[in-house]
Structure 1
Amino acid sequence: MKTCLVTGGAGFIGSFLVDELIRRGYSVRIYDNLEPQVHPGGKTPQYLNPEAEFIQADIRDYDRLKNAMEGIDVIFHQAAMVGVGQSQYQVKRYVDVNIGGTANVLDILANERTKVSKIIVAASMSSYGEGQYECEECGTVTPALRSEEQMAEQVWELICPLCLEKVTPMPTNEEKKLECQSTYAITKKNQEEMVLNVGATYGIPAVALRYFNVYGPRQSLSNPYTGVAAIFLSRIKHGQSPVVFEDGLQTRDFVSVHDIVQANILAMEDETLSGYFNIGTGQPRTIRGIAETLTTLYGKKVSPEITGKFRKGDIRHCVADISKAKMLLEYEPQVTFEQGMQELIAWSTTAESLDKFEEARQELEKRGLV
């Protein structure tokens, strides 16, 4: 059986991937620095699989990483700094970790003798910017980001860039131009393109999986820059209202961590497959609806706070067209929204949680990002 390296393997997605690989009989090596923003106090999480080899080290440490890559057949590159807002003022940190760390992985592949026969990188829907839209007159269109003037007037929806009529959001496919609106998105785009380029150069099949809004157990409830479901849940758990920007009717594609793992396994098992794929559900969910679902399921007497404010660079709608992943990966979402939310709530009742949302919001406001 193959030996797999999972960078970021102690994190939310990486740890579930590690569990599934071990369940299937693979040897697994975890490489993770236990980032304190994700793991409070830098503590090793209790859920870390004891059957995996664990190396605590930074992805920026070239020599430690080179040693960790010895004897590896497949690399799952999950390690990254995560968070759109924070990336706009911790620019160097995000670039150093996300782009510099990926450069280390690829430089080792290019210059050292390795056994690596496959590399799979965690890419992101954030690199799309706005999603795709349908105009009755003009067909499929891709409007630019909304102006600050438009959002200041609370005109939230987009119009056709050609005829200026109303447009309807539609699933976004992989051929839509990537139009990054944050440093985080830029680094994820760079990760994807670097991995695919070096893989093609050296004949190593490489796959970039463009994750949409991932949720599930183990997502840090103490990191105010992580996924919106976890941020909402941390607020609710502390009896505080989840804060929703704009009017709450913006839509995203919420996908269970278990389906993300499924996609990674499928990408590995097709040994010659290369390319980039959307990984989501294809089902739009409003941000307001997510907040209302979580408050109802948790049973707290709080209601979402709809602020009418906006964050610079925020998009309105983006939902995955997963037809390519269905056809070439044979990927099919298995976890329904209802199942996934119930699982998230059940886990959250005993999970460690620090509500740092207000601290993060004040930081963004101080910098003029809200």
Structure 2
Amino acid sequence: MIVVTGAAGFIASCLVTRLNAANFNDIVVVDNFAVERKLANLKGKRLREYVDRNEFFDWLDQNHEQVEFIFHLGARTDTTEQDKAIFDLLNVEYSQKMWRACCQYQLPLVYASSAATYGSGTLGYSDDDALLPLLRPLNPYGDSKNDFDNWAVQQAEKPFFWAGLKFFNVYGPNEYHKGRMASVIFHAFEQIRQHGSMTLFRSHNPDYADGEQQRDFVYVKDLVEVCFFLMQNRQHSGIYNLGTGEARTFLDLTLNTFKALDRPADIRFRDTPEDIRDTYQYFTQADMSKLRSIGYDRPFTKLEDGIDDYVRNYLVPGLYL
């Protein structure tokens, strides 16, 4: 059996699809299934069992001998949430409990970290362990992910294989339920469809023109390929960046969304909301050399191609991955 936490969410549900495609069908999905708006992400997938996140560790005590691998992708991911206690509970303490269980039962573990750990990027975007204690995230979500990364590398007892993946700006099918936290591509699609235009955040940094803010946008299909690779290649534990290694502007992203919709571009700007203005990242770009060094050699999808696939094959027809 393969366990996937956060399974009804965006990235994890796409991973379940990838596992099914490789004929892994004994998948135990773990989540808060009371959040009904996400359940469509699991419709039609071949699954063994649904387990509530609050009951998972009791379930694992009874079933660990049948478990082959754990993907711990469940987390509170709202970067605007300011309640540290929520992140401590769901992102740090729950993950620590997962780590200890994997040590106890000798289970391999891949877990989700985040590029939010890099904060303003003043120290760059290297996934070298030596930089972990020096990173200063810009919000409680980033703090929680960095806190766990630091805790993990300091542990004397570790799972026989483990990997923490620092996801950069992920986009793609199955993110419809994320609201404000959905990708800019998703929001562009919705705005263009409804109004014929797209409004981006204005730059409040003199080093960047409006729309020229840059992020490392990674297609969710690439991300799950890396997860699948790590499940099959368990030799090199550690923390890895997961982006493309190429920063692109929000103008690039938006213009390609108009193109995929066969609509003329109409881009407008508004002030960045004050609640995120001081913690806004103007540039991210993953250093991918560490992942490449362990043998991952698949190319990452170009932004143009990823947007075209996402818009034409999923958003327009209203399909899930």
| Superposed pair shares fold, TM > 0.5 | yes
Return closer, same or farther for 1:313/1:5 CA change in 2, 3 Å cut-off.
same
Provide the residue aligned with 2:316 in structure 1.
349
The aligned amino acid for 1:252 is R
1:328 aligns with 2:285: no
Please list the CA deviations of residues 233-253 of structure 1 after superposition, one character each: whole Å capped at 9, or x if unmatched: 333333263332312211111
Structure 1 segment 294-333 matched on structure 2, within 5 A: 294-300=257-263, 303-309=266-272, 311-333=277-299
The aligned amino acid for 2:238 is G
Provide the residue aligned with 1:228 in structure 2.
184
1:201 alignment partner, SS class: coil
Any conservation in 2 of the 1:32–1:56 contact (CA below 8 Å)?
A: yes
Provide the residue aligned with 1:29 in structure 2.
28
Provide the residue aligned with 2:142 in structure 1.
185
Q: How far did residue 188 of structure 1 move?
A: 1.5
What is the number of equivalent residue pairs in this alignment? 303
Provide the residue aligned with 1:243 in structure 2.
200
CA distance in 2, matches of 1:193, 1:69: 27
Q: How far did residue 350 of structure 1 move?
A: 3.3
Which of 127, 150, 155 aligns to 1:174? It is 127
Provide the residue aligned with 2:157 in structure 1.
201
1:181 alignment partner, SS class: coil
C-alpha RMSD over aligned residues: 2.7
Q: How far did residue 341 of structure 1 move?
A: 0.5
The aligned amino acid for 1:82 is T
1:210 aligns with 2:166: yes
The aligned amino acid for 1:173 is S
Which of 96, 105, 109 aligns to 1:119? It is 109
Query: Quick check: which has more Rg, 1 or 2?
Result: 1
> So what's the TM-score if we normalise by structure 2?
0.83
CA distance in 2, matches of 1:236, 1:67: 50
Query: Which structure has greater helix proportion?
Result: 2
> So what's the TM-score if we normalise by structure 1?
0.73
1:108 aligns with 2:139: no
The aligned amino acid for 1:29 is V
1:82 aligns with 2:38: no
Q: How far did residue 288 of structure 1 move?
A: 2.6
Higher deviation after alignment, 8-17 or 187-196: 187-196
Which of 235, 246, 251 aligns to 1:288? It is 251
Any conservation in 2 of the 1:123–1:192 contact (CA below 8 Å)?
A: yes
The aligned amino acid for 1:242 is T
Return closer, same or farther for 1:82/1:197 CA change in 2, 3 Å cut-off.
same
2:46 alignment partner, SS class: coil
Return closer, same or farther for 1:187/1:50 CA change in 2, 3 Å cut-off.
same
CA distance in 2, matches of 1:100, 1:191: 9
The aligned amino acid for 1:185 is G
The aligned amino acid for 1:7 is T
Any conservation in 2 of the 1:83–1:226 contact (CA below 8 Å)?
A: no
Q: Which runs of 5+ in 1 are unaligned?
A: 133-141, 143-170, 353-370
CA distance in 2, matches of 1:290, 1:182: 25
Provide the residue aligned with 2:206 in structure 1.
none
Return closer, same or farther for 1:100/1:351 CA change in 2, 3 Å cut-off.
farther
Any conservation in 2 of the 1:60–1:104 contact (CA below 8 Å)?
A: no
Q: How far did residue 62 of structure 1 move?
A: 4.5
Q: Which runs of 5+ in 2 are unaligned?
A: 204-209
2:218 alignment partner, SS class: strand
Return closer, same or farther for 1:220/1:95 CA change in 2, 3 Å cut-off.
farther
Any conservation in 2 of the 1:5–1:72 contact (CA below 8 Å)?
A: yes
The aligned amino acid for 1:130 is S
The aligned amino acid for 2:112 is A
Q: How far did residue 49 of structure 1 move?
A: 4.8
What percent identity do the matched residue pairs reach? 22
